[in-house]
Amino acid sequence: MAIELTVNGVRHSLDAAGETPLLWVVRDQLGLTGTKFSCGIAQCGACTLHIDGRPVRSCSVPVSAAAGKAVTTIEGLSPDGTHPVQLAWIDLDVPQCGYCQSGMIMAVVALLNKRPNPTDTEIDAEITNACRCSSYHRVRKAIRVAAATMSAGGRAL
């Protein structure tokens, strides 16, 4: 079945069964491997990307649900890795192993686009991605730094 997807601003016509998880189409057919597979049941958040600006766990979203919508992966967040959230992650050495971080970054970008200066309660409610290395204290600091940068005129997605 032909599926029309726009991923990171590029239109694609793909042959995929409508129920195929979006994660596998993005990784296997488009070669965008920044979006990670981990739990496969939408619990950990490693596979988080955006559909029309909203964070989704792509391991459980059928590709048919993304047809005709704008899909953004970590590769599409910024062409050179200079989105304020990415820079905050680098400046504060957030990742340890890094496996979960692309999904975490995508969740944080969605949060900051919705709530430019989130409270700790809002962060806890929205950022439910799992990090096996437990870098959560640095994640929270990086969210604050990115929020300040974006509020001061840094760009958002």
37 with 59: CB under 8 angstroms? yes
Instruction: Report pLDDT digits (tens) over 95-104.
Output: 888 899 999 9
Tell me the β-bridge partners of 55. 50
Q: What is the pTM of this model?
A: 0.94
Instruction: Report pLDDT digits (tens) over 36-59.
Output: 999 999 999 999 999 999 999 999
Q: Is the per-residue pLDDT at 25 higher than 90?
A: yes
108 with 83: CB under 8 angstroms? no
Confidence label for 140 from pLDDT (cuts 50, 70 and 90): very high
Q: Is the per-residue pLDDT at 156 higher than 60?
A: no
